Amino acid sequence: MRRGKREYGKNGSEKGLIFEAGMKKRDIISSLFWMIIGIGVCYGGYNLDLGTLNDPGSGFMFFWIGIIMIGLSLIILLKAIKKTAVAGELKILWTEIRWKKVVSILIALLLYAYIFVPLGFILSTILLLIFLFKAVEPQRWSWAILGAIISTFAAYGLFHLWLKSPLPKGILGIG
């Protein structure tokens, strides 16, 4: 019997090896996170008016779901405390994987959302795609720029010209 089991993602690639024996610290962290969320939901629900059982108010469901979340997070926490700790179980989250690439892509996507309206669809998308084509497995500049321009205009044609979705014009005034 293997200790770890392979998980298949939606796309089918093998990934996210989950080691049940190595979940202790992760479960403690996640249970505390959900407990805080549960307390927040409970508090918010309480402030929204619970109503009565005859006529439940706006906060009724929130309050009780919050209570359930707190209870569930306690169960996860207690179960985690009983588990045996495995050395370096948190480290596995970022060793042997290219987490820096993930962070850089996330920052790029957040920046894209930020400049999307002021710069406009065409310019911001070309910049994003050049970065994405270069970021993970760097390709030649000429290819990255050409690929980005072609993909951007193809998407523009599909969404804006054919499907008539409004896209931000930005400083170039196209859209």
| Cα–Cα distance for residue pair 165/70, rounded to 1 Å | 43
Per CB under 8 A, contacts with other proteins among 132-151 are: 132-133, 136-137, 139, 147, 151
Return the residue matching tokens 């951007």. 152
Contact status: 161 vs other proteins (CB under 8 A) = no
Which C-beta is closer to other proteins: that of 14 or that of 84?
14
Contact status: 88 vs other proteins (CB under 8 A) = no
Per CB under 8 A, contacts with other proteins among 8-27 are: 8-16, 18, 23, 26-27
| Cα–Cα distance for residue pair 112/165, rounded to 1 Å | 19
| Cα–Cα distance for residue pair 155/163, rounded to 1 Å | 10
Contact status: 172 vs other proteins (CB under 8 A) = no
| Cα–Cα distance for residue pair 101/3, rounded to 1 Å | 29
Q: Which of 101, 141, 146, 172 binds other proteins (CB under 8 A)?
A: 101
Q: Which of 36, 81, 85, 99 binds other proteins (CB under 8 A)?
A: 99
Within 10 Å of residue 35's Cβ, how many Cβ atoms?
Answer: 18
Q: Which of 79, 89, 153, 174 binds other proteins (CB under 8 A)?
A: 79
Alpha helices in 17-168 (DSSP H): 24-47, 60-82, 99-119, 121-135, 141-156
Contact status: 153 vs other proteins (CB under 8 A) = no
Q: Which of 39, 50, 89, 116 binds other proteins (CB under 8 A)?
A: 116
Contact status: 4 vs other proteins (CB under 8 A) = no
Which C-beta is closer to other proteins: that of 87 or that of 106?
106
Can you tell me whether residue 149 is helix, strand or coil?
A: helix
